[in-house]
Copies of this chain bind each other. A is one copy, B any other.
Amino acid sequence: MSQDASTEGDLRNTGMSLKHDREWDYELDRIVEAVEERNATKVGLQFPEGLKRRGPAVADDLRALTDDVTYMLSGQPCYGACDLDTYLMRRTDVFVHFGHSPMKESDKIIYVPLFSNVDPFPIMEDSLDELETGDVGLVTTAQHMNRFEEMREWLEARDFTVHTRKGDDRLTHEGQVLGCNYASADIDADQVLYVGGGKFHPLGLAMEHPDKRVVIADPVNNVVTVADTEQFMKQRYASVHKAMDAEKWGVIFCTKIGQGRWDMAEEIVNDNDDAYLITMDEVTPDRLRNFDMDAFVNTGCPRITTDDGPQFHKPMLTPGEYRIAVGDEPLDSLSFDTFHGTW
């Protein structure tokens, strides 16, 4: 982030919160159709954290449109399509996951993406000051995906050569990034325009593509910045250094459907007599405080490690950082932890 980032308010606002009034399209027709087709009597509804309070009204609308159906709201925390409530999914006839694009298609699941209706073009106009004409990569997040083609045309109308790609299997759309996957920015241009809220996504993007300048056009907080990984890198190195003295390592295997890297977790434990495998779904400071460990390696969601790291009572590292801390890799090999499988 640039120096004046501190004046921008909380950039963790990912567009799911309420800075702007929005109407979401919950695609009730599609849900009702599935309920009728399957003669469903139990329907599960899962919302991300910022939209959970919309659940009851959505359930009300669905109750009015269907008969003899019990609607169940998932109370489990949810941070992505990697994070399906599999308990609810297995026990309902129709399971609706709101707010994320599919990580993997399934007949059982209805994904309702919930696109933002914030206009991205005013802030893209501002971002032109930070872009050099010529080649530019374009990426965005799931909630702005519905306007991706318009964004591309908008840039092309201003004489940019726009490079985009669909990252890999973990991603649904051309140009889409996830907090743990920036494969869509692996394009032939020295600059990338990220259109979307938050600072964590573009930070990961800049870490994963250190040779590229990452310009952030944030239509949610109405601000343009250039990603600066320096402070982030310092934090990560500080954690790695602290963990170098660890005598006991807790190795976390995350049991969430799209966040498990078993081989990686098992390999660490097999190679290190001082490492202990700990399995859990939600990885929280409270849950780890009960374990008497000197440091942790998180093979689950990299965002827990990098964004929430300082909240844990002991150093929390990514698998790559762990290899540096135990001396298997050189210090300068530090990079962002990304995920490339589905589930």
Interface residues of A (CB under 8 A from B): 44, 49-50, 52-53, 55-56, 59, 63, 70-77, 85, 87-88, 248, 252-253, 255, 266, 269-270, 273, 276-283, 287-288, 290-293
Give min CB distance, A57 to chain B, whole Å.
Answer: 9
13 contacts between A and B (CB under 8 A): A49-B290, A52-B290, A53-B290, A53-B292, A55-B276, A56-B248, A56-B293, A75-B283, A75-B288, A76-B287, A77-B287, A87-B255, A88-B279
User: For chain A, what secondary structure do more than half of its interface residues adopt (helix, strand, loop), or is it mixed?
Assistant: mixed
Question: CA separation between A49 and B286, bound complex, in Å?
Answer: 11
Q: Which residues of B contact A288 (CB under 8 A)?
A: 75
Q: Which residues of B contact A56 (CB under 8 A)?
A: 248, 276, 291-293
Partner of A291, one of B53, B71, B290: B53
A75 in contact with B279 (CB, 8 Å):
yes
Give min CB distance, A158 to chain B, whole Å.
Answer: 41
Given contacts A70-B269, A88-B279, contact A287 B55 (CB under 8 A): no
Would you list the 10 A-B pairs with minimal beta carbon distance, nearest first? A75-B280, A52-B290, A53-B292, A75-B278, A72-B277, A56-B276, A73-B278, A87-B255, A72-B279, A75-B287
Partner of A52, one of B49, B75, B291: B291
Q: Which residues of B contact A255 (CB under 8 A)?
A: 87-88
Give min CB distance, A169 to chain B, whole Å.
Answer: 24
B291 in contact with A55 (CB, 8 Å):
yes
A71 in contact with B277 (CB, 8 Å):
yes
B276 in contact with A73 (CB, 8 Å):
yes
Q: Which residues of B contact A292 (CB under 8 A)?
A: 53, 56
Partner of A252, one of B50, B75, B277: B75
Give min CB distance, A213 to chain B, whole Å.
Answer: 37
Question: CA separation between A44 and B282, bound complex, in Å?
Answer: 18
Question: CA separation between A291 and B75, bound complex, in Å?
Answer: 9
Given contacts A87-B255, A255-B87, contact A280 B76 (CB under 8 A): yes
Question: CA separation between A270 and B41, bound complex, in Å?
Answer: 13
Give min CB distance, A279 to chain B, whole Å.
Answer: 5
Residue in A50, A53, A73, A74 with the greatest tally of chain B CB atoms within 10 Å: A73
Give min CB distance, A260 to chain B, whole Å.
Answer: 10
Q: Which residues of B contact A252 (CB under 8 A)?
A: 75
Q: Which residues of B contact A74 (CB under 8 A)?
A: 278-280
For A73, the closest partner residue in chain B by CB is: B278
Could you list 5 further interchain pairs (A-B, Cβ under 8 angstroms) beyond the known A70-B269, A70-B277?
Answer: A56-B292, A70-B266, A71-B276, A73-B279, A75-B252
Give min CB distance, A214 to chain B, whole Å.
Answer: 31
Q: Which residues of B contact A71 (CB under 8 A)?
A: 276-277
Question: CA separation between A53 and B291, bound complex, in Å?
Answer: 5
Partner of A277, one of B73, B76, B277: B73
Question: CA separation between A76 and B76, bound complex, in Å?
Answer: 14
Question: CA separation between A257 and B147, bound complex, in Å?
Answer: 44
Residue in A50, A59, A276, A281 with the greatest tally of chain B CB atoms within 10 Å: A276
